[in-house]
C-alpha cells in the first residue's frame, strides 16, 4: 500500500514539472513558521552556509513568525559588496520597504586580486554554480524564518543584474522566484569563435515557467555596460532593447510593446515600455532611465553609483517601481 502510494507519487512527480506543481498551487512547506528566531530585527546580519559562503540579510522590524513574509534577493555588482548594495538600493529603509525580508548574497572571489564576480561573468570559470548558492540561502532562510515561498523576488545591479537574469533563466530558481528586476545588467554571452552582433545575440535561457515577470532598467549614458551593447572583456553584450524583446518573445508576448511613453512624473526622457496583454498584461516592462543616466541605480538623490560615475541623479527611484512590480506577482 505504502509502496503503491510512493509509486503513484513518483509517477506524478515525473510527469508534472516543478513549474506545473507551482501553477496548481503546490506550496513548499516552510519550517521557520511559529519559531521566534533568535536574531535582531531591523539589523543587517551576516550568516554563513555549511558550504562556507556567507550572505547578508535584514529582517523588518514588524516580523512575526506566525505570519508568512516575502523575501527579496538583491545582488551587488562586480567588485562590490552586500553592504554596498544595501546602501545603494535602500531596501532596508522604511521609505521603500517596511515588510519584506531582504537578502544580499555575496559573490565568489577569483584570481590573484580576489575579484568579486558572479556566475556568467567573463572572469568566472564556467563551472561555477551561483544559482545553487542562492537556492542554498533560500533553503536556510526558509528553515529559519516564516517565508512566503510564493513571494520570493530578485533584483540586482550590473553583474548583480546579470545574476538576477541567471535566476530567471535557470530551471531550478525560476520555479522558486516569482518576479525579477535587473538594473543596468551586464548580460554577457560567450560568443568565442563567432562575431559579436548585439542586436542578434542568442541567450542561454531556460526558465521552468512559461510566463516570467521581469522589469528591466538601463541608462542611456551607461559608460560601463553600454546601452547599445558590443564586445567587452572577451565576451559580447546585447543591445538592451534586443535583450528586452527576447524576454517578451520567450514569455510568449509580442516583441512590440503594447505601451511606450514617458515615465510618469520623470524627466530626462525616462521612457516606459510595457509588453503583454490580457492575462499577461505588463508581464515584461522596461525603463530607459534617461539620456543622462550612467551605470547607476536610478534614484532622485545622489548615491554611491552617481558619485562614482560623476553623473546627475536619475528622475525617479527605481526601488519604488521595483517594489510595486514585485507586489503584483506571486508564484
Ligand atoms: C568561452 O567559450 C570558449 C569556447 O567554448 C571556452 O574555451 C571559454 O572557456 C569560455 N569562457 C568562459 C569565461 O566561459
Ligand atoms: C555606446 O556605444 C556607442 C557605439 O559604440 C557610442 O557611440 C556611445 O558613445 C557609447 N555610449 C557611452 C555612454 O559610452
Ligand atoms: C531620448 O532622447 C534622445 C535625444 O533626443 C534620443 O536620441 C533618444 O532616442 C530618446 N530616447 C528614448 C527612449 O526616447
Ligand atoms: C526617492 O527616494 C528618496 C529616499 O531615498 C526620497 O527622499 C525622494 O523623495 C524619492 N523621490 C521621489 C520622486 O519619490
94 lines ligand 4 (CB under 6 A): no
Which residue minimizes the CA distance to atom 9 of ligand 1?
Answer: 126
Distance 109 CA to ligand 1 centre (A): 19
Q: Is the confidence at residue 312, as pLDDT, over 90?
A: yes
Q: Which of 246, 187, 191, 249 is nearest to 218 (CA)?
A: 187
- Given this model, what pLDDT does residue 37 score? 85
- In a domain, residue 224? The reply is yes
Query: CB neighbours of 245 closer than 8 A, spacing ≥ 6?
Result: 255
Burial of 15 (0-12, 13-18, 19+ CB in 10 A): exposed
Q: What is the pTM of this model?
A: 0.91
- In a domain, residue 2? The reply is no
- In a domain, residue 174? The reply is yes
With beta carbons less than 8 A apart as the criterion, state whether 56 and 82 touch: yes
- Given this model, what pLDDT does residue 27 score? 57
What is the chain's mean pLDDT, rounded?
92
With beta carbons less than 8 A apart as the criterion, state whether 299 and 317 touch: yes
Return d(Cα 102, Cα 108) in angstroms, integer: 20
Q: Are strands 214-218 and 115-117 parallel, antiparallel or unpaired?
A: unpaired
301 lines ligand 4 (CB under 6 A): yes
Return d(Cα 80, Cα 78) in angstroms, integer: 5
With beta carbons less than 8 A apart as the criterion, state whether 105 and 133 touch: yes
**From 10-14, 119-123, 144-148, 163-167, the region with the lowest mean pLDDT:** 10-14
Q: Is the confidence at residue 331, as pLDDT, over 90?
A: yes
- Given this model, what pLDDT does residue 28 score? 62
**Pocket-testing residue among 110, 130, 190, ligand 1, by greatest number of atoms within 8 A of Cβ:** 190
Q: Is the confidence at residue 22, as pLDDT, over 50?
A: no
317 lines ligand 4 (CB under 6 A): yes
Return d(Cα 330, Cα 148) in angstroms, integer: 9
231 lines ligand 2 (CB under 6 A): no
DSSP letter string, 193-258: TS---TTT-------SSS---EEEEE-TT-SSS-TT-EEETTEEE--HHHHHHHHHHHTT--SS-S
With beta carbons less than 8 A apart as the criterion, state whether 165 and 171 touch: no
Domain of 66, CATH number, reads 3.40.50.1820
Confidence of residue 2 (pLDDT cuts 50, 70, 90): very low
**Pocket-testing residue among 217, 219, 220, ligand 3, by greatest number of atoms within 8 A of Cβ:** 220
- In a domain, residue 180? The reply is yes
Q: Which atom of ligand 1 is nearest to the CA of 190?
A: 1
With beta carbons less than 8 A apart as the criterion, state whether 271 and 220 touch: no
Q: Which atom of ligand 2 is nearest to the CA of 294?
A: 13
What is the rounded radius of gyration, in angstroms, for the C-alpha atoms of the chain?
20
Q: Which of 174, 263, 248 is nearest to 218 (CA)?
A: 263
> Where are any strands of DSSP class E within the chain?
44-48, 54-58, 69-75, 101-105, 108-110, 115-117, 147-157, 179-183, 214-218, 230-232, 235-237, 259-262, 271-275, 284-288
Return d(Cα 36, Cα 16) in angstroms, integer: 35
**Pocket-testing residue among 268, 301, 314, ligand 4, by greatest number of atoms within 8 A of Cβ:** 301
- In a domain, residue 9? The reply is no
- In a domain, residue 166? The reply is yes
**From 10-19, 67-76, 198-207, 240-249, the region with the lowest mean pLDDT:** 10-19
DSSP letter string, 7-33: HHHHHHHHHS-HHHHHHTT-----TTT
- Per the structure, the complete domain to which residue 167 belongs is given by 17-326
Distance 233 CA to ligand 1 centre (A): 12
Number of folded domains that form the chain: 1
Within 6 A (CB) of ligand 3 lie 269, 271, 288, 291
- Given this model, what pLDDT does residue 7 score? 36
- In a domain, residue 6? The reply is no
Q: At what angle do helices 159-169 and 130-144 cross, to 10 degrees?
A: 80
Distance 226 CA to ligand 2 centre (A): 6
With beta carbons less than 8 A apart as the criterion, state whether 249 and 255 touch: yes
Task: Read off the DSSP letter of residue 96.
Answer: T
Per residue in 24-66, pLDDT (tens digit) is 444 566 778 998 888 999 999 999 999 999 999 999 999 999 9
Distance 213 CA to ligand 3 centre (A): 26
Q: Is the confidence at residue 10, as pLDDT, over 60?
A: no
- Given this model, what pLDDT does residue 29 score? 64
**From 21-25, 118-122, 247-251, the region with the lowest mean pLDDT:** 21-25
- In a domain, residue 5? The reply is no
Cell triple for 87? 546602501
Distance 97 CA to ligand 4 centre (A): 13
Per residue in 209-233, pLDDT (tens digit) is 999 999 999 999 999 999 999 999 9
Amino acid at each position: 500500500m505504502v509502496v503503491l502510494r510512493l509509486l503513484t507519487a513518483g509517477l506524478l512527480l515525473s510527469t508534472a514539472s516543478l513549474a506545473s506543481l507551482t501553477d496548481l498551487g503546490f506550496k513548499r512547506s516552510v519550517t521557520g513558521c511559529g519559531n521566534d528566531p533568535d536574531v535582531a530585527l531591523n539589523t543587517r546580519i551576516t550568516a554563513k552556509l555549511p558550504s562556507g559562503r556567507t550572505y547578508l540579510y535584514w529582517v523588518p522590524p514588524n516580523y512575526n513568525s506566525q505570519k508568512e513574509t516575502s523575501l527579496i534577493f538583491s545582488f551587488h555588482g562586480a567588485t562590490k559588496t552586500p553592504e554596498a548594495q544595501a546602501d545603494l538600493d535602500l531596501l532596508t529603509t522604511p521609505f521603500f520597504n517596511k515588510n519584506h525580508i531582504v537578502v544580499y548574497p555575496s559573490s565568489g572571489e577569483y584570481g590573484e586580486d580576489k575579484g568579486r564576480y558572479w556566475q556568467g561573468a567573463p572572469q568566472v570559470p564556467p563551472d561555477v554554480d551561483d544559482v545553487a548558492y542562492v537556492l542554498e540561502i533560500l533553503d536556510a532562510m526558509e528553515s529559519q524564518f516564516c517565508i512566503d515561498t510564493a513571494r520570493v523576488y530578485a533584483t540586482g545591479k550590473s553583474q548583480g543584474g546579470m545574476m538576477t537574469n541567471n535566476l530567471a533563466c535557470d530551471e531550478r530558481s525560476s520555479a522558486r522566484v516569482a518576479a525579477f528586476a535587473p538594473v543596468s545588467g551586464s548580460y554577457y554571452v560567450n560568443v568565442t569563435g563567432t562575431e559579436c552582433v548585439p542586436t542578434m545575440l542568442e541567450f542561454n535561457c531556460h526558465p521552468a515557467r512559461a510566463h516570467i515577470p521581469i522589469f528591466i532598467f538601463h541608462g542611456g549614458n551607461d559608460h560601463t555596460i553600454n546601452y547599445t551593447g558590443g564586445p567587452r572583456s572577451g565576451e559580447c553584450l546585447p543591445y538592451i532593447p534586443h535583450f528586452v524583446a527576447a524576454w517578451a518573445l520567450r514569455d510568449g508576448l509580442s516583441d512590440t510593446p503594447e505601451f511606450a511613453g514617458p515615465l510618469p512624473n520623470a524627466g530626462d526622457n525616462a521612457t516606459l515600455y510595457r509588453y503583454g496583454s490580457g492575462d499577461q498584461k505588463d508581464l515584461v516592462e522596461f525603463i530607459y532611465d534617461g539620456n543622462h543616466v550612467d551605470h547607476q541605480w536610478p534614484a532622485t538623490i545622489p548615491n554611491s553609483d552617481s558619485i562614482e560615475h560623476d553623473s546627475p541623479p536619475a528622475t525617479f527611484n527605481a526601488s519604488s517601481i521595483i517594489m510595486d512590480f514585485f507586489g503584483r506577482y506571486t508564484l
